[in-house]
Amino acid sequence: MSGERGNVIIIGGGHNGLVASFYMARAGFKPIVLEARPMVGGMAVTEEVWPGFRCPTLAHTGGPIRAEIVRDMALERHGLRMTQPKARVTSVSPDGGSVTVYDDPAKTAQHLAAVSARDGKSFTEFQSILNRLGKIFAQLAGNTPPDIDSPSKDDLFRGVSTGRMIRKLGKQDLYRLLRWAPMPIADLMDECFDSDLLKGALAARAIFGSGVGPRSPGTSNLLLLRCADDLNVAGSASFPIGGTGALTQAMAQATTAAGTTIRTNAEVAGITIKDGRVTGVRLTTGEEIAASAVISNADPVRTLLNLVDPVHLTPTFLQHVQQYRSSGVVAKINLAVDGLPKFPALEKREDRDVLYPGRIHVGPSMNYVERAFDFSKYGEFSREPYMDVMVPTVSDPSLAPSGKHIMSVYVQFAPYALRTGDWKTRAGEFADCAIKTLSAYVPDLPNRILHQQVITPAEIESTYGSTGGHIFHGELTLEQFFTMRPLLGYARYRTPIKGLYMCGSGTHPGAGLTGRSGENAAREIVKDLR
């Protein structure tokens, strides 16, 4: 049937684009994925940054990708091998203290009980509440947001089914859900826990990638949303052997096998439209490709303001797109190091070998993280940033030459729009600042650094194509969530232009490397095109 109606083009070969293309292909269409870069994967890529060092350049953990997608795409058959470290995250302090959230909640509770009796007890309770509430969010994340103006039968059915699920929660959990969602994560953490190290790490998961601090209202919602795909409160530490790029490579193989054509080095310059309907795309080379439908995995601003000629959209709609908030706050530093840098806080622990493969959180208290955020409000990068560190070579030594390691560091806050200077001139100063901060936790780091790569928000925009350098294609605040993502009235993967769809992180549910946006989008698009 797709042959009669022409091609389906997917702009961008990020993980959501690949997932969407797979489901389109499986439904009988012949999708073409157009990727501007020489390799697919978007922000989940492994690149040889220095000879012999293959870095997970941006994302360093797998979201985790949704189990159904792994199964449907048979990613394991296509070469994916995931590792799940026993320790999810260890929060370290400069004075050598540390707290770990393990893969096993019971073990975490036992470990925390040694730090504070209350925390041990509350952790078990908190985790069990999240297990219950997370399911609701999983249901929401897996559904297409309803059409508010004229709900369809399906919308009503899904609404009723979610409603039933919510009702099953019982009164106490329901109120918890209503009360927690708009709360600042700092208040929620204070209600539940004592340990600053623990609170710092959990609060950080909620605000990761967003221009908010632990005290910003609505940040608890982000934690709940993230629990849709990973019930562990500390977040994922799952790592694909071969780096996150191995995940998207497996996806590329799977979708190709299903019938998708992938073209790399094929940058889309514009979407061609006639009489309010998509006719195809034009590449930067001038080549035009006709299509009956175009699915954009690019972010909403890039898709609707850069790739579409504004004459096809109403002024109000354009204004709303312009107001879409997508100013990134995260930068990435990748280090090639000689030997494994030692964190004294981890060295003190008996189970240190279990801790190194997990993530290491630098941001020893909520106030620390909040202060890091303060800088970004005034257009400055944090003097003492909060950092999410991973040493992928512990899990997969093949990523670096023997005896060498890669240290992958997410640094927040690094606001896209600097008030003085620009990222080009200030990247070095920024990296120095981050490495100096990190050295307080890993004193032998500076002497071990062989190479460093700094990916500023400006580069996330220019190289990876995300407007404002936002790693989630737009802020995940309450006003850009669910039926409002990316815009109220356009949360169902469709746009005002017939035949133009969106499937990236800028659409519901959007957070991180889960593949849900791509999966949801494909489901809706198949419905329309049939």
Partner 1 sequence: MRCSGDCGDCVCYNTGVSFRSIKMTNQTTNNKFDAIVIGGGHNGLVNAAYLARAGKKTVVLERRHVVGGAAVTEEIFPGFKFSVCSYVVSLLRPEIIRDLDLPRHGLEILPLDGTFTPMPSGDYLWRVNDHGKTRREIARHSRVDAEAYEEFGKAMLQMCKFVKPILSMTPPNPTTLKPSELMKLLFLGRRFKDLPEDDKYNQVQLMTMSAIDFLDQWFETDVLKATMSASGIIGTFLGVRSPGTAYVLLHHYMGEIDGAFRSWGFARGGTGAISNAIADAAREAGAEIRTKAGIAKILVKSGKAIGVVLENGDEIFGNVISSSVDPKLTFLKMLDRNQLPDEFVSSVEHYKFRGSSAKVNLALDSLPDFTCLPGRGEHLRGAISISPSVDYMERAYDDAKYGEYSKRPYIDMVIPSLTDPSVAPPGKHVMSCFVQYAPYHLASGNWDEKKEAFGDTVIDTLSQYAPNIKNIIVGRQVVTPLDLEREWGLTEGNIFQGELSLEQLFFLRPVPGWAQYRTPIKNLYMCGSATHPGGGIMGAPGRIAALEILKDWKA
Binding residues (CB under 8 A) for partner 1: these are 148-149, 171-172, 174-176, 178-183, 187, 191, 212, 215-218, 316, 320, 323, 325, 367, 370-371, 374, 377-378, 477-479, 484, 487-489
SS (H, E, C) 102-131: ECCHHHHHHHHHHHCHHHHHHHHHHHHHHH
Of 149 and 275, the one with the shorter C-beta distance to partner 1 is 149
Shortest Cβ 410–partner 1 spacing (Å): 23
Shortest Cβ distance from residue 315 to partner 1 (Å)? 11
Amino acid (one-letter) located at 500: L
Query: Which residue, 151 or 403, is less far from partner 1 as judged by CB?
Result: 151
Q: Closest approach of Cβ 465 to partner 1, in Å?
A: 24
In whole angstroms, give the CA distance from residue 521 to residue 24: 10
Both tokens of 387, joined, read 């950092």
Burial class (CB in 10 A: 0-12, 13-18, 19+), 31: buried
Closest approach, Cβ 480 to partner 1, in A, equals: 9
* Of residues 12 and 474, the one with the C-beta less far from partner 1: 474
* Closer of 283 and 488 to partner 1 (Cβ): 488
DSSP string of 306-348, one letter each residue? IIS-GGGS-HHHHHHHHHS-----EEEEEEEEESPPP-HHHHT
Element (H, E) at 82: strand 82-83
DSSP 88: E
Taking the CA atoms of residue 89, residue 93, residue 99 and residue 101 in that order, the dihedral angle to the nearest 10 degrees is: -10
Q: Between 33 and 487, name the residue whose CB sits nearer to partner 1.
A: 487
Angle between helices 171-180 and 219-226 (to 10 degrees): 120
Whole-number minimum distance, CB 433 to partner 1, in Å? Answer: 20
Distance of CA 184 to the CA centre of its chain: 20
How many H helices and E strands in the chain?
21, 19
When the beta carbons of 218 and 385 are compared against partner 1, the nearer one is 218
CB 417 within 8 A of CB 348: no
Measured from the CB atom, the residue of 9 and 222 that comes closer to partner 1 is 222
Phi, psi dihedral angles at 49 (to 5 degrees)? -80, -40
Q: How far is the CB of 184 from partner 1 (least distance, A)?
A: 8
Measured from the CB of residue 370, what is the shortest distance to partner 1 in angstroms?
6
Alpha-carbon gap, residue 114 to 97, rounded angstroms: 13
Shortest separation between residue 374's beta carbon and partner 1, angstroms: 6
**Closer of 13 and 200 to partner 1 (Cβ):** 200
